[in-house]
Amino acid sequence: MTSAQTPPSQTRFPAGRLAFPHRDLIAIGALQTHEILFLLEEAEQWVTFNRQPAKHAEALAGLTIINAFFENSTRTLLSFEIAGKRLGADVVNMHAAQSSVKKGETLIDTAMTLNAMRADAIVIRHGSSGAVGLIAGKVDCPVLNAGDGQHEHPTQGLLDALALRHALRARGQASSDGMLVGLKVVICGDILHSRVARSNILCLQALGASVRLCAPPALMPQGVEAMGVEVFHHFDAALAGADVVMMLRLQNERMDGQFIPSPREYRHLYGLTRQRLALATSDAIIMHPGPMNRGVEIDSDVADMPERSIITQQVEMGVAIRMACLDVLTRRARGIPGWASGDLA
């Protein structure tokens, strides 16, 4: 069999090793490039599946998934809920606002409670960096990080890569190995408070893209150059020759003090307007993880640009990525051949 005929998801793992040797999905930083490619390739079947009128699989039938969200969320919670249900699992959502967390229960006690209910996977969003990893160390089932503080949001990094691959494929510009080598991506906005930025930097770089960050000095993490990114404070300079422009929201709820003079001033310097977009390549792709603040970090006529904006595709790819992650991480417990043994990290 030539390599062209080999199924892509089996080409890159060292022989005898599990394709995905991790029990949990906490951070893109813990994944190797072939593991990222594997998850992206696994998600492709779910993209196709989700475009059919009937969208119910039985892969996770009988399994219980708990979505424990200690922070507000619309698209990530819905996306994980839809993903679990489409795979046939029983999905239960726990909102911290209505839980015993408000009564003073510690994170560890909440984790032990979820564990005692014998969930088969737990999806967690938490406001503190490291909290999801901490819970993962206390429970017996796979844990998926749906965003922990300013640390990581791994499924967002993966879904953004998948959305980019689809957009490039539709233009006939995709590379056959699934990589994004040579792509110039600008991430602009509140980098300091953004777990999306961090997961995207790691995921995009692993796939061979180069990343430029742009933010006012107060919203740029100190020493971020060490991640191998180019740092800009002038948006026009960052945009020159960019293939992809990813805009981020000002995360006011995470700001302790005043970081920008005013939203109006911010838009003037860092907002993506049609005029500014003209500085990027002529067909540059526009992305935003949502929720958007239209008229602040991005103008409506840019966010809604046909052919250029892939913001709604990002949401679509999110469900497929989460289905792939839930499926892969529960394979061991389900005794799927080839997955029942092997070392897990």
Shortest distance (Å) from residue 328 CB to ligand NCD: 20
User: Does 128 interact with ligand NCD (rule: CB under 6 A)?
Assistant: no
- Find where tokens 């997961």 sit: 199
Query: Quick one: which of 76, 110, 200, 309 contacts ligand NCD (CB under 6 A)?
Result: 76
Ordered strands of the 285-287 beta sheet: 230-232, 210-214, 184-188, 244-247, 285-287
Among residues 140, 184, 176, 150, the alpha carbon closest in space to that of 279 is found at 184
Q: CA 293 to CA 155: how far, in whole Å?
A: 22
Tokens 């060490």 -> residue: 226
Token representation of residue 221: 């993490």
The verdict on 149 binding ligand NCD (CB under 6 A) reads no
Would you say 143 and 114 are in contact if contact means Cβ atoms under 8 Å apart?
A: no
Please, what is the minimum distance in Å from the beta carbon of residue 196 to ligand NCD?
Answer: 5
State the residue number with the nearest CB to ligand NCD.
Answer: 249
Tell me if 235 sits within 8 A of 220, measured CB to CB.
no
Say whether residue 184 binds ligand NCD (CB under 6 A).
Answer: no
Position 64 contacts ligand NCD (CB under 6 A)? no
Is residue 86 a contact residue for ligand NCD (CB under 6 A)?
A: no
Confirm or reject binding of residue 156 to ligand NCD (CB under 6 A). yes
Measured distance CA(230)–CA(226) in Å, rounded: 10
Among 195, 212, 267, 322, interactor with ligand NCD by CB under 6 A: 195
Smallest separation, CB 2 to ligand NCD (Å):
40
Does 126 help bind ligand NCD (rule: CB under 6 A)? no
107, 134 Cβ separation under 8 angstroms:
yes
Phi-psi region of 321 (alpha: psi -120 to 50; beta: other; left: phi over 0): alpha
Taking CB under 6 A as the rule, does residue 165 contact ligand NCD?
Answer: no
Options 31, 101, 186, 196; binder of ligand NCD; rule CB under 6 A: 196
Residues that bind ligand NCD (CB under 6 A): 75-76, 147, 153, 156, 195-196, 249, 251, 289-290
